[in-house]
Amino acid sequence: MNKTSLRIVLAATALAALGACAHRDAHQDGRLTATATLTPTTGNSTTGSVRFAQSGETVRVVGEISGLRPGAEHGFHVHERGDCSSGDGMSTGGHFNPGGAPHGRHGAGTHHVGDMPSLRANANGVARFDFTSTSIRLGNGPNSVVGKGLIVHRDPDDYATQPTGNAGPRLACAVITRS
């Protein structure tokens, strides 16, 4: 191999290594994303989509959910299993709680990792939301919600009843998937 060919091979190898590092660093820098497409449980009409984007230690959660009771508040939680196979959403199990914390209000004291802010539907039964969480993660680790279930409940979360918040039946279910 002549010097020119060797330089080309070395340059290509260096570029490939830099590309791999850049890809790894993008994930380490928190630019992970995930999505969830909510489908109604049996007898309900609630649907929607949710996007998750992690930047550093913060995950931004943005979405729109329709088919809700107009003007009402609805519990919203990440559940332990990404399984929407049962008609009632119960196949997702309980709230995602890898640390064994008591149920509580998202962003205020101790709470399950899966405790999200309740959703408020407008007069048309649509909830639009955009909030951040420092509890959930999209990468590896115990607080990763990727592969977990996402549930919208019929009733508001009372943030006190253990371990569920007394949010009632499950209106819609999704599996959170990396995008």
**Per-domain residue ranges of the chain:** 1-28, 31-178
Task: Mark whether 79 is an active-site residue.
Answer: yes
Count of positions (residues) in the chain: 179
For the ranges 40-44, 82-86, 89-93, 161-165, the lowest mean pLDDT is seen at: 161-165
Task: Mark whether 74 is an active-site residue.
Answer: no
Q: Annotated catalytic residue: which of 74, 106, 137, 153?
A: 153
What's the pLDDT score for residue 109?
79
Q: Annotated catalytic residue: which of 79, 106, 111, 137?
A: 79
Task: Mark whether 27 is an active-site residue.
Answer: no
Q: Is the pLDDT of residue 104 over 50?
A: yes
Task: Mark whether 106 is an active-site residue.
Answer: no
pLDDT tens-digit map of 10-35: 344 443 443 443 333 344 444 799 99
Q: Annotated catalytic residue: which of 74, 111, 137, 170?
A: 170
What's the pLDDT score for residue 77?
96
Distance CA 118, CA 127 (A): 10
Nearest CA-CA partner of 94 in 102, 9, 67: 102
pLDDT tens-digit map of 148-169: 999 999 999 998 899 989 999 9
Mean pLDDT of the chain: 86
CB-CB contact of 60 with 118 (8 Å)? no
Q: Annotated catalytic residue: which of 106, 115, 137, 157?
A: 115
Put simply, whether the predicted model's pTM sits higher than 0.85 gets the answer: no
Q: Is the pLDDT of residue 1 over 70?
A: no
Q: Annotated catalytic residue: which of 74, 95, 111, 137?
A: 95
Task: Mark whether 95 is an active-site residue.
Answer: yes
How many CB atoms lie under 10 A from the CB of residue 87?
A: 14
Task: Mark whether 103 is an active-site residue.
Answer: yes
Amino acid identity, position 99:
G
Higher pLDDT, 2 or 69: 69
Q: Annotated catalytic residue: which of 103, 106, 111, 137?
A: 103
**Rounded mean pLDDT of 76-91?**
97
Name the CATH topology of 31-178.
Answer: Immunoglobulin-like (2.60.40)
What share of the chain has pLDDT > 90, as a percent? 74
**Rounded mean pLDDT of 110-128?**
95
Distance CA 176, CA 179 (A): 9
Task: Mark whether 153 is an active-site residue.
Answer: yes
pLDDT tens-digit map of 53-80: 999 999 999 999 999 999 999 999 999 9
Task: Mark whether 111 is an active-site residue.
Answer: no
Nearest CA-CA partner of 54 in 42, 62, 64, 65: 62
